[in-house]
Each structure stands twice: as C-alpha cells, then as structure tokens.
C-alpha cells in the first residue's frame, strides 16, 4: 500500500513529506509505547501513535521507519515536524483513534505480508 493510499484510508492530513507519498508500506505498528515499537522490527512499516514528542521521530529513525501517522487529531510541534522533514519522513495526522486507524488499514489490505 502506498502512503497516499494510507492517507486516503485514514482521511489524514499530510503534515510533512508530501513528496514521498508514493513510498510503499507493508505493515503497520500501532503503539503509544516506544519500547513496544523498538520490539517491532518489520520492513517498510508505518507507525501509528498518539505521542507527539521528538522521541517518536528518534525511535522511528532508529527502526528505519519513514512514515508516522498521529492519531486522535494530534499534531506535533514545529520542532518535531522539522526533525521529521530532516529525516525525509512522511507525517500524517488523522482524527481516528488508534484502534480504528489500525483497523481501517488492515481491512483495506495492509496485512503485513509483502506478497498480498
């Protein structure tokens, strides 16, 4: 699934990285605990979270995650967005809660399997 499709399924705003919406993701990780994100090692994943602090960007960078969707209508500070832009990440914001966001992506084909 492309990040443009993710944006559409989540009815999300693009906060940073519109030029990278053609990138593909194969899986999603929904968590507000960055320690759980560190334990979730997958290729081409989008992180869905309600945390909006710089640690989210740093954790994503460490795990080679290039796309983040902030849920519940949350938007990070300009400092966080600048850091994400520097790392060439796509940052989205959706009004949907975490559970619904994950369900929308899964039901639209983001199953975690590359060959589907």
Tens of pLDDT along the chain (116 residues) come to: 999 999 999 999 999 999 999 999 999 999 999 999 988 867 889 999 999 999 999 999 999 999 999 999 999 999 999 999 999 999 999 999 999 999 999 999 998 765 54
Nearest to 94 by CA among 71, 75, 110: 71
Q: What is the pLDDT of residue 116?
A: 46
The CA distance from 3 to 67, in Å, is 8
The CA distance from 2 to 15, in Å, is 16
pTM (2 decimals)?
Answer: 0.93
C-alpha 73 chain-centroid distance: 13
Record the tokens describing residue 79, joined without a space: 């400092």
Strands 13-16 and 90-93, by their bridges, are antiparallel
Q: Domain 3-107 sits in which CATH superfamily?
A: HprK N-terminal domain-like (3.40.1390.20)
């Amino acid at each position: 699934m492309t990040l443009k499709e993710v944006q559409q399924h989540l009815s999300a705003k693009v906060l940073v990285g519109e030029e990278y919406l053609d990138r593909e993701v194969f899986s999603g990780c929904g968590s507000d605990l960055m320690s759980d994100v560190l334990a979730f090692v997958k290729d081409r994943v989008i992180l869905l979270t309600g945390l909006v602090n710089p640690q989210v960007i740093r954790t994503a960078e460490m795990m080679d995650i290039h796309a983040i969707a902030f849920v519940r209508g949350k938007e990070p500070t300009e400092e966080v967005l600048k850091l994400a832009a520097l790392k060439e990440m796509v940052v989205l914001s959706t009004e949907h809660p975490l559970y619904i966001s994950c369900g929308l992506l899964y039901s639209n084909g983001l199953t975690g399997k590359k060959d589907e």
